[in-house]
Amino acid sequence: MESGKETNRNTKITKSYYFRKEYLGRGFATGCGIFIIVLTFAIGIFLLVRGTGTFTKFHHSIAEFLFSADWSPVDTAQGSGGGVGAAIFIVGSLLTCGLALAMITPFALGAAVFMTEIAPKAGEKIFRPAVEIFVGIPSVVYGWIGLTVLVPFIRDVFHAKMGGYSVLAASIVLAVMIFPTITTVAADAIRSTPDSCRKAGYGLGSTRWQVIYRIVIPASKNGIFTGIILGLARAFGEALAVAMVIGKTKSFPKNLLSPTSNLTAEIAADMGNTASGGEANMALWSMALLLFLISMLFIFLIHLISGSGKKKEKD
């Protein structure tokens, strides 16, 4: 017993013991935490430096970049004097995302209600895994299906010019892609509504539909908005799937069936083909910077929503 006591406690608690057993691991963990901040800032700063070249090196105005439709940058390493108006691409992005959102939001919310309120068991067992598969399918595969199924379909049904490459095709592909995002986030929000609220509703003689749209949906409003914004963010940043079906013509669309282009498709198509550091190349980097800033804006909006939610709870 006594001898055991000695062997068992022979580790002296010294500085080097603490170094090996605590500070080393703790240091690595802290370092990795800080690394994430550094990485995020690095991405922001590199894009900022590169993306502002259009305005500093080539002296274009921000207003021209945002609002002009004259896209004719000079694609040589040194030349300048072309137009860098990205309005077509900006409008293309806004239009396709807006349309996708308008198309899918009611259905995505319906699906969220279905999997939580109407058929929670089937929702958990069948619907959730299915939605996960939706999320998991790579975006190029969505693009490829859009290209080989949707585009010919639109061409044949609507007799669209340009063989079916269109705003409509891009919007539908995006809609299918953002559906799982909106549904899962909204479903989580709906699920976290306290059961007592529902019971109170039923206790007052409400039908299930009344409980859903008078109590459950208003109570999970913040989560639903967060889901919609996350979906929008995903749509905005999606590149290849859209690029495959939008047609990539550098003009405003005349209607839903005509082709256009958007920010991501333009970057994906031309970044590698322009002379590095030239006017055209720098304009593309400005578009990348714009994408970065927009995704930051979405984060900010989500914080605003959850912040207002918390405040209300406190009041």
Partner 1 sequence: MEETLNKNIKTEISVKNLNLHYGEFHALKNITMDIPEHEITALIGPSGCGKSTFMKTLNRMNDLEQGVKIDGTVLLDGVDIYKTMDAIELRKRVGMVFQQPNPFPKSIFENVVYGPRINGIRNKEKLMEICERSLKQAAIWDELKDRLNKSALGLSGGQQQRLCIARTLAVEPEVILMDEPTSALDPISTGKIEELAMQLKKDYTIVIVTHNMQQATRISDNTAFFLLGEMVEYGKTDDVFANPKDERTERYITGRFG
Partner 2 sequence: MIADQRTTMQKRVHNAQRMNRIMTVVFYCIGGFFLVLILVLAVYIIINGIRSIYPGVFGFDSDGIGNQFFNTVYLVFWSLLISVPIGVLAGIYMAEYAGDNKLTKFIRISIESLSSLPSIVVGLFGYLVFILYTGAKWNLMAGALAVSILSLPSITTTTEDAMRSLPKSYKAGSMALGATHWTTIHKVLLPACLPRIITGVILAAGRGFGEAAALLYTSGQSTRLNWSNWNITSKTCPLNPFRPGETLALHIWVMRTEGSLNAHSEEIANVCAMILVICVLLFSLAARMITKHVTRKQTGDNA
Give the footprint of partner 1 on residues 7-26 (CB under 8 A): 7-11, 13
Q: Residue 1 touches which of partner 1, partner 2, none (CB < 5 to 8 A by kind)? A: partner 1
Q: Residue 26 touches which of partner 1, partner 2, none (CB < 5 to 8 A by kind)? A: partner 2
Instruction: Work out how close the CB of 296 gets to partner 2 at its nearest, in angstroms, rounded to a whole number.
Output: 7
| Nearer to partner 2 (CB atom), residue 62 or residue 122 | 122
Instruction: Work out how close the CB of 310 gets to partner 1 at its nearest, in angstroms, rounded to a whole number.
Output: 21
Interface with partner 2, residue 94, by CB under 8 A? no
For residues 252 to 281, the per-residue mask of contacts with partner 2, x marking binding by CB under 8 A and - elsewhere, is: ------------x--xx--xx---x-----
Contact, 246 vs 100, CB < 8 A? no
Interface with partner 1, residue 1, by CB under 8 A? yes
Interface with partner 2 in residues 13-72 (CB under 8 A): 18, 21-26, 28-37, 39-43, 46-47, 50
Task: Give the span between the Cα atoms of 28 and 18, in whole angstroms.
Answer: 14
Bridge partners (DSSP) of residue 71 are 84
Task: Give the span between the Cα atoms of 221 and 182, in whole angstroms.
Answer: 13
Distance of CA 134 to the CA centre of its chain: 15
Q: Residue 4 touches which of partner 1, partner 2, none (CB < 5 to 8 A by kind)? A: partner 1
Interface with partner 1, residue 37, by CB under 8 A? no
Instruction: Work out how close the CB of 13 gets to partner 1 at its nearest, in angstroms, rounded to a whole number.
Output: 4
Task: Give the span between the Cα atoms of 169 and 234, in whole angstroms.
Answer: 17
Q: How many CB atoms lie within 10 A of CB 59?
A: 9
| Nearer to partner 1 (CB atom), residue 21 or residue 303 | 21
Nearest to 287 by CA among 269, 299, 300, 302: 269
Interface with partner 2, residue 191, by CB under 8 A? no
Interface with partner 1, residue 33, by CB under 8 A? no
Residues 6+ apart with CB under 8 A from 187: 111, 112, 115, 116, 123
Token pair 């949906």: residue = 217
Q: Residue 218 touches which of partner 1, partner 2, none (CB < 5 to 8 A by kind)? A: none
Contact, 96 vs 170, CB < 8 A? yes
Question: Which of 88, 174, 239, 257 contacts partner 2 by CB under 8 A?
Answer: 239
Contact, 176 vs 149, CB < 8 A? no
Contact, 306 vs 223, CB < 8 A? no
Which residues are at the interface with partner 1 (CB under 8 A)?
Answer: 1, 4-5, 7-11, 13
